[in-house]
């Protein structure tokens, strides 16, 4: 069992991780109250990318059970480090682009894949999940801002893509995910598009598609106002990334 030293890690502003977590939870509660939503309808997904296993361990001690990572290698290394330090029951979620050649590695190690963006990836995941006789919760990643630099389906392609996914029965599509535009107004437009897409899918399929993963440290209040059910928060909890 590896020893992970925790405690005493403070942000640049001198606050502790539990304090910052408390602030984020309060902000989520206020954002929900402002629009009459139940805070329990919004999941906080701490994003630990670039941060150490010892910071993750601190977050686990402060009550976090799930962590988002955007790189496969880092996710696998950190999860095994956290586990061998004796922290059990921690769930890992991939929120970054997944290459097909790494899909098999991920399928059995993550609780959820929030960045499904191609049918070719779906096919590889399906094969691996059949082999291990398991299933995987997936979100379709949507490029809601249309920026060239972003992964994800364009909004107009989501309907057809989601229908084509039906043959991959080991994948359980639960919702949509987006990384919003950095500009506040354009981010809000993106969130609105996401809510419309979700409603369309729900109407078409008579339900399902409960999840909308949107909102990060800088924009999660707005995302909650637009119906987010999962906010992915890194900086506001773990501090600035190197
Ligand atoms: C890094 C990252 C986040 C968290 O961003 P912060 O601004 O640090 O809260 C959320 N989602 C994705 C996909 C990310 O890569």
Nearest-atom number in ligand 1 for the CA of 49 is 1
What is the per-residue DSSP string for the chain?
------S--B-TTS-BHHHHHHHHHHHHHHHHHHTT--GGGSEEEEB-TTS-HHHHHHHHHTT--EEEES-HHHHHHHHHHHHHTT--S-EEEE-S---GGGHHHHHTT-SEEEEE--HHHHHHHHHHHHHTT--EEEEEEB-TT--TT--SB-GGGHHHHHHHGGG-TTEEEEEEE----SSHHHHHHHHHHHHHHHHHHHHHHTS---EEE---TTTHHHHHHTT-SEEEESHHHH----
* Whether residue 10 has pLDDT greater than 60: no
- Res. 14 pLDDT band, cuts 50 70 90: confident
Is there a domain that residue 1 lies in?
no
Mean pLDDT of 194-203: 98
* CA-based nearest residue to 68, from 194, 209, 214: 214
Q: Does 128 fall in a domain? A: yes
List the residue whose alpha carbon is closest to atom 13 of ligand 1: 95
Domains in the chain: how many in total? 1
Nearest-angstrom CA–CA distance, 104 and 116: 14
Which residues are near ligand 1 (CB < 6 Å)?
A: 47, 49, 70, 95-96, 179, 216-218, 232-236
Nearest CA residue ID for atom 7, ligand 1: 217
Contact 214, 18 (CB under 8 A): no
- Give a yes or no: residue 4 inside a domain: no
- 50, part of any domain: yes
Mutation pick for ligand 1 pocket among 21, 23, 45, 47 (CB with most ligand atoms within 8 Å)? 47
Q: Whose CA is nearest to atom 12 of ligand 1?
A: 95
- Let me know if residue 222 belongs to a domain: yes
Mean local confidence (pLDDT), 132-142: 98
Q: For residue 29, what are the domain limits?
A: 17-238
CATH of the domain at 80: 3.20.20.10
Considering the domain boundaries, does residue 12 fall inside one?
no
Q: What is the pLDDT of residues 15-61, one digit of tens each?
A: 999 999 999 999 999 999 999 999 999 999 999 999 999 999 999 99
Q: Looking at the domain assignment, is residue 11 inside a domain? A: no
Does residue 216 form part of some domain?
yes
The confidence band for 225, taking pLDDT boundaries of 50, 70 and 90, is very high
């Amino acid at each position: 069992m590896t020893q992970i030293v925790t405690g005493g890690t403070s942000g640049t502003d001198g606050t502790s991780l539990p304090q910052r977590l408390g602030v984020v939870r309060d902000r989520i509660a206020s954002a929900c109250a402002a629009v009459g939503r139940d805070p329990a309808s919004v999941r906080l997904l701490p994003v630990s990318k670039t941060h150490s296993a010892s910071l993750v361990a601190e977050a686990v001690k402060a009550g976090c059970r799930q962590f988002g990572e955007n790189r496969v290698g880092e996710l696998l290394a950190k999860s095994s480090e956290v586990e061998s330090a004796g922290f059990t029951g921690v769930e890992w979620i991939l929120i970054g682009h997944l290459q097909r050649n790494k899909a098999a590695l991920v399928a059995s190690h993550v609780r959820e894949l929030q960045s499904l963006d191609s049918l070719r990836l779906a096919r590889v995941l399906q094969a691996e999940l059949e082999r291990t006789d398991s299933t995987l919760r997936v979100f379709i990643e949507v490029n809601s801002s249309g920026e060239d630099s972003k992964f994800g389906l364009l909004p107009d392609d989501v309907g057809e893509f989601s229908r084509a996914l039906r043959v991959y029965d080991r994948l359980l599509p639960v919702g949509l995910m987006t990384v919003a535009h950095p500009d506040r107004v354009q981010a809000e437009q993106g969130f609105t598009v996401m809510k419309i897409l979700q409603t369309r899918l729900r109407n078409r399929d008579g339900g399902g598609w409960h999840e909308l993963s949107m909102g990060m440290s800088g924009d999660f209040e707005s995302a909650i106002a637009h119906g987010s059910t999962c906010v992915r928060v890194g900086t506001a909890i773990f501090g600035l990334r190197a």
